Chain A
Amino acid sequence: MKLKSMLLGAIAGTVVFVSGQAMADTSGKTIALSNNYAGNSWRQAMLESWDKVASKAVEDGVVASADAFTTSENQATEQAAQIQNMILQGYDAIVLNAASPTAINGAVKEACDAGIIVVSFDGIVTEPCAWRIAVDFKQMGRDQVKYLADRYPEGGNLLEIRGLAGVFVDDEISAGIHEQVAKTNFEIVGSVHGDWAQDVAQKAVAGILPSLPEVKAIVTQGGDGYGAAQAFDAAGRPTPTIIMGNRQDELQWWKEQKTANGYETTSLSIAPGVSTLGFWVAQQILDGNEVPKDLTVPFLRVDQDTLEEILAETPAGSVANVEYSQEDAINLIKSAN
C-alpha cells in the first residue's frame, strides 16, 4: 500500500514537472519563520512584511499556517533549540535568518533529515541541504559604479564612504566598488568609514573634505548618504551625485533636492521584505518545483521616477521596503535555473 502510494506520488510529481506548472497542493502545508533578532528597524520591517504576506497567503488557502518565531536572545544555541522545537511541532518548511552561518548547521541537518524544507535568507547557513537566498554585496558595489559610469562616461573623482571596519559586508561592497572603478575612468580620491550611520558619516566626510579636489560623485554603503550631503552643504561646496541606500531620511533629502534643483541620483539596498521572498521560495519547493540551492536577493532600486511613490510608503526612520509576490519568487527561480 505504502509502495503503491509512493509510486503514485512519484508519477504525479513527474506529471507536474513535465507540464511545467505547479499543481501540487500546498494548502495543507505549514511554514515557520525562525528569526534570531528583532532589535532594529530593518528587522521590524522584515517581520511586518512576513506577517502581512504570510497571513494573506493563509487566508487565501495557499498554505495552512505561517508562524513567525524570534529567539529571545540573539544566540546560535537559542536558535538551534528553536529549530529543533519546530521539527517537533511538525512544520513542513522552515524559513530562517540565521544567527551564525555555521553554528546552527547541526539543527538544520536534523530538520532536513526529518524531511523539512529549510530556506535561509539574508543570514544564510552553510549546511548543504538548506536553500540559500544570499545577498551579493559585491554586486551592490559594482552596480553603484555602473550607474555613475553611465551618467559620467568621462569619469572624475569619487569619494568612497565605507561601513564598519572589519565587517565582512563592508569588505565585500568596497571590493565590488574598487573592482568596477578599475574598469572606468573614475578615480577614488578619498575613503572614510561612516559606520552605516548618518552622524558618523557626516563627521568623517567633514574631516576629509578640505583635502579633497572637486568630487564628482560619492559611492556609499547605505545609511550614510544624508550625512555626506550635510557635510558638503556645511562646507559650502557643490553637492556631488550621492548614491543613496534607501533610508527614509536619504530619500526625503533627495526629493527635496529634486524639487529644488532637479538633483538626480539612484538608491539601492536590500528590502527587509526579502523574508517574504523566503516564504514564497519555500512554498515553491513544497509545491514540488525544482529550485536551485543558491539564489541571490534582488536589490530594491529607487530611481528618479519611482522616488515619490516609494518615499510615500516608507515610514520615517525606516527603510524602503517591498513585499515580494509568488510571481517574483518564480521569476527569481527561473533566472537562476
Chain B
Amino acid sequence: MNREHLRILLPVLSLGILLAAVFYMQPRAMSYFGLNLLFNLAVPVALATIAQMMILMVNDIDLSIGSFVSFCACVTATFVQTDPVIGYGILFAAILVYAAMGAIIYARGLPAIVVTLGMSFFWSGMAVLVLPSPGGSAPDWLRALMTAKTPILPVAIIAPIVIAVVMHYFVKRSSLGVLLRGVGGNERAVARSGWSVTGLKAFAYGVAALFCVLSGMALVGLATSADANIALRYTLLSIAGVILGGGEFTGGRVSPIGAVIGALTLTLAASFLSFLHLSPDWQIGAQGAILIIVLAVRLVFTRREALV
C-alpha cells in the first residue's frame, strides 16, 4: 500500500462508518429511494468541492464559491430557462471572469483570499440583480436529469462516481493535471521549465468556475427554483470537503476521489445528527467534532507515514 492509498483510506473509512450508523438508525435509508434522498443534495456540494479543490491545487483558496454558485443558480433559474442563448452566454462570461481573476491574482502577486472575498460580494450583488426576490424555475431538462429514475443506482450515487472518476483521470493521469499540481508544489520550477504559470492558474480557475456553474445548475434542478442566498454555505463546506478528503492547503496535494467522498461525508454527517434527534444548538458543534476526529486520525496516519 503506497501513500496515495493510505491518503484515500481514511475518507473511505469515515464515510463507511457514518453510512453504517445511518443505516442502523434508519433502515429505510437502505433503498434506492432512501439513498437518493440521503445523497441528492450532496451532488451540488461535490461539484463545488471539486471547484474548491482546483483552486487549492494551485495553492490558492476561494472564498467566493458559495456566492458564485448562488449566482449561477439564479442565472439558471431565470435566463437559462427563458432565453437559453443569453443564459449560457452569461455563464460562459462568468467562467472567463473567473479565469481572468486567476491570471490577475498570479500576475500581480495578490493574495487569493482577499481577492476572492471581495469577489464574493460582487457575485452576491449580481445574484440579487438577476433575481431580486426568490423565484425562477428550473429548465425542464435539468429537472428531469436530476430526478431521473436510473436503473439499479440512483442519480445521487452515479453522479458523484462519474465526477470522481473523470476528475481523477484529469488531475492524476493527464499531463495537464500533473502541471497544475506542479504549480501548487513549486510554481517557480514550473515557470523555469518554460510553462506559463499565469495561463495555468487561469486554466485552474476556469475549470473551478465550470464546476461552480454545474453545481449551481444541479442545485436548481433539485430545488426547482433559486434564491440569491441559496448556496452561501458551500464556501466553507467545499473547503472542509477537500480537507476531509485528504487534500492539503498547500503543495498541490489533492485527491479528487477523496474530495467527492469528503463532500458526501459532510452531507451524511448532517443527516446522521438529525436522525440522532440532537438539539440544533449542539449540531454545529457536533459537526465540527466529527471533522476534528477525522482530521486527528489523519494526523496519526501521516505521522506514521513519515516514520515509515
Mask, A107-147, CB within 8 Å of B = 1, is 10110000000000000001100000000000000000000
- Decide yes or no whether B265 CB sits under 8 A from chain A: no
Cα A127 to Cα B270 in complex, Å, equals 25
Interface range on chain A (Cβ under 8 Å from partner): 20 to 34
Chain A residues whose CB sits within 8 angstroms of the CB of B26 once the complex forms: 88-89
Known: A72-B284, A81-B270, A88-B28. A105 touches B38 (CB 8 A): no
Cα A107 to Cα B219 in complex, Å, equals 11
Mask, A70-109, CB within 8 Å of B = 1, is 1111011110111011011110000000001111111101
B280 near A102 with CB under 8 A, answer: no
Known: A75-B232, A77-B231. A88 touches B134 (CB 8 A): no
A103 near B134 with CB under 8 A, answer: yes
Known: A73-B284, A88-B34. A100 touches B230 (CB 8 A): yes
Chain A residues whose CB sits within 8 angstroms of the CB of B267 once the complex forms: 81
Q: How far is the CB of B266 from chain A (nearest CB, A)?
A: 11
Mask, B26-59, CB within 8 Å of A = 1, is 1011000010011011000000000000000000
Q: List 17 A-B contacts (CB under 8 A).
A: A38-B280, A69-B280, A76-B230, A77-B41, A77-B219, A77-B233, A77-B234, A85-B38, A85-B271, A88-B38, A101-B134, A103-B134, A105-B223, A106-B224, A107-B223, A110-B37, A168-B133
Number of residues of chain B lying within 8 A (CB) of chain A = 36
Q: How far is the CB of B67 from chain A (nearest CB, A)?
A: 13
- Decide yes or no whether A67 CB sits under 8 A from chain B: yes
- Decide yes or no whether B277 CB sits under 8 A from chain A: yes
B134 near A106 with CB under 8 A, answer: no
- Decide yes or no whether B275 CB sits under 8 A from chain A: yes
Q: Which of B268-283 contact A (CB under 8 A)?
A: 270-271, 274-275, 277, 280, 283
Known: A85-B271, A100-B134, A102-B134. A72 touches B229 (CB 8 A): no
Cα A257 to Cα B287 in complex, Å, equals 51
A81 near B271 with CB under 8 A, answer: yes
Mask, A38-76, CB within 8 Å of B = 1, is 100000000000000000000000000001011111011
Chain A residues whose CB sits within 8 angstroms of the CB of B232 once the complex forms: 75
A89 near B275 with CB under 8 A, answer: yes
Closest to B234 in A: A77
Q: How far is the CB of B192 from chain A (nearest CB, A)?
A: 44
Q: How far is the CB of A69 from chain B (nearest CB, A)?
A: 6
Mask, B265-308, CB within 8 Å of A = 1, is 00100110011010010011001000000000000000000000
6 closest cross-chain pairs (CB), A and B: A102-B225, A72-B283, A70-B280, A103-B227, A106-B223, A100-B227
Q: How far is the CB of A122 from chain B (nearest CB, A)?
A: 15
Chain A residues whose CB sits within 8 angstroms of the CB of B233 once the complex forms: 73, 75, 77-78
Known: A89-B275, A102-B134. A84 touches B40 (CB 8 A): yes
Q: How far is the CB of A97 from chain B (nearest CB, A)?
A: 13
Chain A residues whose CB sits within 8 angstroms of the CB of B231 once the complex forms: 77
B136 near A84 with CB under 8 A, answer: no
Cα A87 to Cα B134 in complex, Å, equals 24
Cα A168 to Cα B136 in complex, Å, equals 17
- Decide yes or no whether B94 CB sits under 8 A from chain A: no
Q: How far is the CB of A43 from chain B (nearest CB, A)?
A: 11
- Decide yes or no whether B226 CB sits under 8 A from chain A: yes
Complex partner residue of B274 from A69, A101, A107, CB under 8 angstroms: A69
Chain A residues whose CB sits within 8 angstroms of the CB of B111 once the complex forms: none
Chain B residues whose CB sits within 8 angstroms of the CB of A85 once the complex forms: 37-38, 271, 274-275
Cα A77 to Cα B219 in complex, Å, equals 9
Complex partner residue of B226 from A38, A81, A90, A102, CB under 8 angstroms: A102
B287 near A72 with CB under 8 A, answer: yes
Cα A88 to Cα B39 in complex, Å, equals 12
Closest to B284 in A: A72
Q: How far is the CB of A224 from chain B (nearest CB, A)?
A: 24
B270 near A78 with CB under 8 A, answer: yes
Chain A residues whose CB sits within 8 angstroms of the CB of B38 once the complex forms: 84-85, 88
Cα A71 to Cα B275 in complex, Å, equals 12
A102 near B284 with CB under 8 A, answer: no
- Decide yes or no whether B135 CB sits under 8 A from chain A: yes
Cα A104 to Cα B225 in complex, Å, equals 8
- Decide yes or no whether B263 CB sits under 8 A from chain A: no
B284 near A103 with CB under 8 A, answer: no
A76 near B223 with CB under 8 A, answer: yes
A88 near B37 with CB under 8 A, answer: yes
Chain B residues whose CB sits within 8 angstroms of the CB of A101 once the complex forms: 134-135
Cα A110 to Cα B277 in complex, Å, equals 22
Known: A67-B277, A100-B134, A168-B133. A76 touches B284 (CB 8 A): no
Cα A168 to Cα B132 in complex, Å, equals 11
Cα A77 to Cα B222 in complex, Å, equals 10
Q: How far is the CB of B128 from chain A (nearest CB, A)?
A: 11
Known: A84-B38, A84-B41. A100 touches B222 (CB 8 A): no
Most buried by A among B133, B227, B275, B277: B227
Cα A109 to Cα B222 in complex, Å, equals 10
Most buried by B among A38, A82, A103: A103
B41 near A80 with CB under 8 A, answer: yes
